[in-house]
Structure 1
């Protein structure tokens, strides 16, 4: 895990088959500094290689989920000979790699969102497979308000929201409530603050209780088929179903259903 001073930037807490990754830079609103991105990438790599983990929850400490990139760090880079160009490219590449790592992760990722999720922080929510938000949370891709269009957050946002709604947020820099984020499809549901952890854990438990190999196969196929034409998507997913059917644990699950008993799946 990467540290900043003596602080661990991403804390991992396991509960059975569920890994909770906690952003731990509350004094900076969990901004995605170079170090924070490195810590998050390392944590995702660690979880991806752990066959015991079936679900990942991404949460944060403090009054914000994530306020986007660290503008102070970015501004300091302007003092370099190239005006910061190399540092900026390195930062946005690292951020893109983290976002793609979440999509490629074998396990579903649930964002648990409190407070603010802005710019690249909103991108992080949009990138996760599922999201539960406190009803007091607010979301925005507000870079345009300071002259920096949120072009990289746009990638995740435009793949989650209707096109005109995404473009409106990107060009106005407006913030939306948690209830509005549900309506837009950015998050699955909004719940009272006091119930956020319980609601997230219940969703994680529900997924963790399914056959892990089936969920891993399904997540990979979900994202791959989205990029395909209709006929190709059906041909591809048909082959995925064949792969899934041939898995011995799937045969056990179907047999248990027909015999009206619980499946004897690996824990």
Structure 2
């Protein structure tokens, strides 16, 4: 956990992420339903700590990240972000800490020794879509939707672009990033963002079946194989996250970045000026 992570509210970790072990599978369920499982600093810290516990648990061989409520995760807390434009530095320190923490969480998923599967029943948007892309595998309900929606309100999804561009082809990734549109679960499967699309009432069953199948394998072999996979396919990942975190911050300091978020929170149309 980042000791210098930005503070928004201080709910208990158990109010954000529910942990349960079923056989050799650790289920981590995001339960901040009222806030649509936003990736606040507290949520990211709670999830990171839960993942670390799963990594240390000798009886855990696979991890599932699921969620309750109308969104798997709606991304970052835009309202809280706009409030920091009033900081003496215009919010720069807050934004740097927020995106550094988010990048560390996503990078940590790739480095976690346990296979991690996203179970998506609803909407995964912006950093929520990033979380899905960062997981090793994903199972989606037919009604699930996915999108890197930031460009719609003036914030290009630069850090979500890092895992997205590593799991889907270039043109599909750029279309998602440049339109901000939500795509269907079927489209997400076609472009490689998710592994399987199943009926809504079967998503937990199918996800657990996949996790339990993986959990029958040697945990050491899984750890070695996962580490080797990311070492060869994702070279430059840490540098990519560092770079894109900087881009996100710079984006937020522009007029259009500020205008887009302010307009979103104010429920009005933004006035783009290209600066």
1:206-217 counterparts in 2 under 5 A? 206-217=213-224
Aligned residues: 228
Answer yes or no: is the 8 Å Cα contact 1:141–1:169 preserved in 2.
Answer: yes
1:81-160 counterparts in 2 under 5 A? 81-160=88-167
Structure 1: unaligned runs, 5 residues or longer: 229-267
How much is the aligned-residue C-alpha RMSD, in angstroms? 1.6
Deviation at 1:215, TM superposition (A): 1.0
> Deviating runs (4+, > 2 A) in structure 1?
none
Which whole-Å deviations, capped at 9, do the CAs of 1:57-104 have from their partners, x for residues lacking one? Answer: 000111110011111111122221111111111000000010011100
Answer yes or no: is the 8 Å Cα contact 2:25–2:60 preserved in 1.
Answer: yes
Instruction: Report the Cα distance in structure 2 between the residues aligned to 1:89 and 1:66, rounded to whole angstroms.
Output: 21
Instruction: Report the Cα distance in structure 1 between the residues aligned to 2:112 and 2:36, rounded to whole angstroms.
Output: 25
Answer yes or no: is the 8 Å Cα contact 1:3–1:9 preserved in 2.
Answer: no
| Higher RCO structure (Cα 8 Å, ≥6 apart) | 2
Which whole-Å deviations, capped at 9, do the CAs of 1:163-190 have from their partners, x for residues lacking one? Answer: 1110111011111000000001000011
Instruction: Report the Cα distance in structure 1 between the residues aligned to 2:83 and 2:41, rounded to whole angstroms.
Output: 13
Which position in structure 1 is the counterpart of 2:86? 79
Answer yes or no: is the 8 Å Cα contact 2:119–2:140 preserved in 1.
Answer: yes
Q: Which structure has the larger Rg over C-alpha atoms?
A: 1
Instruction: Pick the aligned partner of 2:182 from 154, 175, 181.
Output: 175
Q: Does 1:195 align with 2:207?
A: no
Which whole-Å deviations, capped at 9, do the CAs of 1:149-204 have from their partners, x for residues lacking one? Answer: 00000001100110111011101111100000000100001111100110001001
Taking a change above 3 Å as real, the CA distance of residues 6 and 176 of structure 1, as seen in their structure-2 partners, is closer
Q: Does 1:223 align with 2:230?
A: yes
Answer yes or no: is the 8 Å Cα contact 2:13–2:43 preserved in 1.
Answer: no
- Is the partner of 2:155 in helix, strand or coil? coil
Deviation at 1:6, TM superposition (A): 8.7
Instruction: Report the Cα distance in structure 2 between the residues aligned to 1:177 and 1:28, rounded to whole angstroms.
Output: 23
- Is the partner of 1:199 in helix, strand or coil? helix
Deviation at 1:50, TM superposition (A): 1.4
